Chain A
Amino acid sequence: MDEQQRSMAGQNRTKSVPALEWIASAVGLALMLAIIGFIGWEAYQGTEDEPPMIEVRVEKVLSVGGGWVVEFAAVNRSPSTAAAVQVEGTLNRDGREVATSQTTLDYVPGRSERAGGLFFDEDPSAHELSLRALGYAEP
């Protein structure tokens, strides 16, 4: 029995791989294949030539401390990322520009959206509100 136990212990130390090691390695291999597969697929799709396409839509208009804020979401429809995206909002009444407000989003990643807000002194809901992205820098 002693002999057997010793040989078992010896085997454990030198040869046999603990079950946990199989599990950890399998999880690691699966994660590696999944990530490499996903990014490989993205690389294969080739996203580099398309310019960013940014749409800005109004989410909410809120009244805050003596003014108004227009919360917006900038949605990038293209797979290419845009950096330093400038968003401008204008208030028009009777075809005349009443107020403009501007902000910059650090990044709008490809196929993602980022949110922001523009402050106005006039009530946007009493005017014609239009939002648009002015431009971007390549990251």
Chain B
Amino acid sequence: MLPQAADNRRASPNHEYAIGLTRALGGAIIFGFPLLMTMEMWWLGFYMDRTRLLLFLLLNGAVLVGLAYFAGFEEADDLKDSAMDAFAAYAVGVLASAAALALFGILAPGMPPEEIVGKIAVQAVPASIGAVVARKQLGSGGDDEEQDEKERRAGYAGQLFLMAAGALFLAFNVAPTEEMILIAFKMTPWHGLATVAVSVLLLHAFVYSVGFSGQEEIGEGGAWTTFLQYSLAGYGIALLVSLYVLWTFGRTEGAELTQVAMMTAVLGLPSALGAAVARLIV
């Protein structure tokens, strides 16, 4: 009786963790699916510049650690805990991507390792971010207060990080497609300016409405300060992230500066939404 009870107690954290991993898998699949079914993503796996891909993977690792910290699905108060969660999420992301790609017949036994590893590596980025975010939302140990506390401690820099992570995630979801370039081609400069205005307004609307949940952190100095501190800063981050993602995917290659600006503005819209939504998710 007694040893059994002790066993149960010992098994319980493992069990809890297993549930966490399952939700992470759910997150990886739900967030990863649109890109797993995008052919440009498969192609990027083999034709993407390897140095840029390497840089992107390292950056993804850092973003995962940061998100794992704020996720607080358990007491991830230090770097070690956050890193462990990030690695676990990465494992889930890689395995889920590999399984889905194999299921769709995108990965086949005869392919060279460069192609297989490349395809999995590219897909694992959104899948692992999905895994980390899902684990955060299950929040077995991380109650809202704890999270708010963490965000408060991280301060403004932490908020900017979250916005960047959200922007990266949403930008990444659409950046691989040809449509990004096509839209940029179709737009006149006036369309571009309008897109910028719409992006900033949407971002501000989100920031403002989200601000109500933690009013003391945000909007203390009035509407204009909020606009400058969060909405404009957020849009700046969204543009930088967009440019970075376009460069990573080789979209800026040989493109004229005005075309690059137009593409950045186009991608800046989903990025801005991602930056805004990040505050809701995390």
* Residue ranges of A at the interface with B (Cβ–Cβ < 8 Å): 1, 5, 8-9, 12-14, 16-22, 24-29, 31-32, 35-36, 38-40, 42-43, 47-48, 79, 81, 83, 107, 109-112, 139
Contact = CB atoms under 8 A, between A and B. Distances in A.
Contacts of B91: 24-25, 27-28, 31
Contact of B121 (A13, A18, A39, A81): A39
Interface of B: 2, 5-6, 9-10, 12-14, 16-18, 21, 43, 46-47, 49-51, 53-54, 57-58, 61, 75, 83-92, 94-95, 111-115, 117-118, 120-121, 124, 250
A24 B21 contact: yes
Contact of B46 (A1, A21, A48, A109): A109
24 contacts: A16-B13, A20-B18, A25-B88, A28-B86, A28-B87, A28-B88, A28-B89, A31-B94, A31-B95, A32-B90, A38-B113, A39-B50, A39-B53, A39-B121, A42-B114, A43-B50, A43-B53, A47-B50, A79-B114, A83-B47, A109-B112, A112-B114, A139-B43, A139-B250
A21 B114 contact: no
Contacts of B17: 18, 20-21, 24
A38 B114 CA distance: 8
A69 B185 CA distance: 40
Nearest to B250: A139
A112 B87 contact: no
Q: Mostly helix, strand, loop or mixed at chain B's interface? A: helix
B53 A5 contact: no
